[in-house]
Structure 1
């Protein structure tokens, strides 16, 4: 569960938040501009293992956050503990603990939803945003009624059920593997899921993010993002369709780039790390007053 750079080993960064202890893998050049990396479901910080070294080579420091519900010492009970403002607050606490006034923020899957939230609520703390796979929340909601996104998102309703999703996702049989393989996961990624999510008991916490959705504040997803933004989407993503991807531009009031990866599944950081790293670095270097990271 590490995105650590073997050439620049450092202890993980632990920091307090609401009586919990959260962890971030801190690696790369210590004097480089910081990039916060936010994973999605059902993965942890290792989802950035192929991307982070490329960012380090470009001169950037990375902080890969093991998010609440996943990190063993930060698994609160109750669905409300996983509302978006709490997840956003974890990222701000990370920046504060690392002594960073701001950072480039990158998120994949649910991590992208958190990244959108951080950029929308705290634009002064975000130099640039690179969101991967998940569109702006307002674009996603529009796509739910104007495209096939509602059908693609059937599992969100299923995850609201008590206990059954945990049992299915933790089953030792072939059912979870078949579902994940259908979304594009390789056998290696599925084994990582077994080791990092199932064996460590992270499944209930990860599901907590979905179960907090009914408690979302009305209108919270409508705010435009006003920081330089790149949105990266792949055309073989079975969970997220083109409808939300193409509407995201409407919700960014700043320099915006849309990067479409053809023939790629949902798992962009694992499948196309070099292209994703290029998109992140290009975005980071494009920001006014931002250098090269080295």
Structure 2
């Protein structure tokens, strides 16, 4: 099956470019990509899930691809992002769905059962666990731990990243979509200064001498799309981190629906989060954890068959198609 073409769907005051596959009466599963990605990142999962009888819905989320790109930073906060997803359910006449997210998409889908509990059947987090709301503003915490060059902090303070990334999207993806040059265990042995994730400096330095995890044609899909759409919309998600923290103080940090967390065992991007699955066990009542030991950050593209096997095993047991 070819990657399904997108169609624009009105939801929550924006238009989202949505890729859909599988039987309309199948168990619905919404696939949410991360930064800086696209629904295209799920190209290895969509046909497999559809063939197994699931109704697959994969949007380019707001700010990305052909979807709307509001000018106001506030329109990228967690309430808008989760509202987009429940709005898609409204469009399709779906009461509840399974939400599956990777990277930033994972951060969003873990919030859906907190903000919209009646719309969630199950949750799958790929690479990013449920992170309970902490006692302090996370940007203050990141700044104190990593300094001003840490990419999330840098995104708050300037438009340097927007300008650097927009100037050469091909270079951005050529840098990012590669195997790690160092194991997670060795990375953790580095000093704090050497572990600061400075994406702007990383892109300026150029790619590591390691294998790409995507082919040239696949990389071009990302690069050509971001050349048209730019990076400011996606970066605006990060510029709401403090706002998201402040506006969710009322939310109970408890998830009661069935949940699956797929750990990427060699992911340097989440190296600063200790005991990924252990920390959320007290907050997620029905949690299953699996691991793809050698996977770096881009799990669904680097180890698609392994991830597909884990997803189908859990889905068939918990939500038979």
Question: 1:156 maps to what in 2?
Answer: 152
Contact 1:52 1:62 in 2 (8 A): yes
1:215 aligns with 2:243: yes
Structure 2: distance between partners of 1:49 and 1:62: 11
1:17 aligns with 2:12: yes
Structure 2: distance between partners of 1:222 and 1:155: 29
1:250 aligns with 2:277: no
Q: CA RMSD in A?
A: 3.0
Question: 2:223 maps to what in 1?
Answer: 194
Structure 2: distance between partners of 1:262 and 1:160: 33
Quote the offset at 1:110 in angstroms. 0.6
Structure 2: distance between partners of 1:219 and 1:232: 27
Contact 1:107 1:114 in 2 (8 A): yes
**Could you say which structure has the greater relative contact order, defined with CA pairs below 8 angstroms and 6 or more residues apart?**
1
Contact 1:137 1:221 in 2 (8 A): no
Per the alignment, do residues 126 and 190 of structure 1 end up closer, same or farther by CA in structure 2, a change over 3 Å counting? Answer: same
Cα deviations by residue, 1:139-193 (Å, 9 ceiling, x for unpaired): 7889x8999x954992101112332101211233986356414675535354333
Contact 2:170 2:224 in 1 (8 A): no
Question: 1:279 maps to what in 2?
Answer: 310
Q: What residue ranges of structure 2 are gaps of 5+ in the alignment?
A: 181-211
Quote the offset at 1:113 in angstroms. 0.9
Question: 1:53 maps to what in 2?
Answer: 47
Structure 2: distance between partners of 1:280 and 1:120: 23
Contact 2:166 2:230 in 1 (8 A): no
Quote the offset at 1:41 in angstroms. 0.6
Contact 1:108 1:133 in 2 (8 A): yes
1:270 aligns with 2:301: yes
Question: 1:238 maps to what in 2?
Answer: 268
Structure 1: distance between partners of 2:121 and 2:316: 10
Per the alignment, do residues 220 and 131 of structure 1 end up closer, same or farther by CA in structure 2, a change over 3 Å counting? Answer: farther
Quote the offset at 1:248 in angstroms. 2.0
Per the alignment, do residues 176 and 23 of structure 1 end up closer, same or farther by CA in structure 2, a change over 3 Å counting? Answer: closer
Question: 1:26 maps to what in 2?
Answer: 20
Structure 1: distance between partners of 2:261 and 2:134: 13
Quote the offset at 1:257 in angstroms. 0.8
Decide which of 172, 196, 203 is 1:176's aligned counterpart. Answer: 172
Question: 1:102 maps to what in 2?
Answer: 96
Number of aligned residue pairs: give it.
280
Cα deviations by residue, 1:38-87 (Å, 9 ceiling, x for unpaired): 00110001000011111122111200011111143411112211110110
Question: 1:126 maps to what in 2?
Answer: 120
Question: 2:231 maps to what in 1?
Answer: 203
Q: What residue ranges of structure 1 are gaps of 5+ in the alignment?
A: none
Contact 1:139 1:248 in 2 (8 A): no
Structure 2: distance between partners of 1:252 and 1:82: 26
Per the alignment, do residues 140 and 283 of structure 1 end up closer, same or farther by CA in structure 2, a change over 3 Å counting? Answer: farther
Quote the offset at 1:230 in angstroms. 0.5
4+ aligned runs moved over 4 Å, structure 1: 139-142, 144-147, 149-153, 181-185
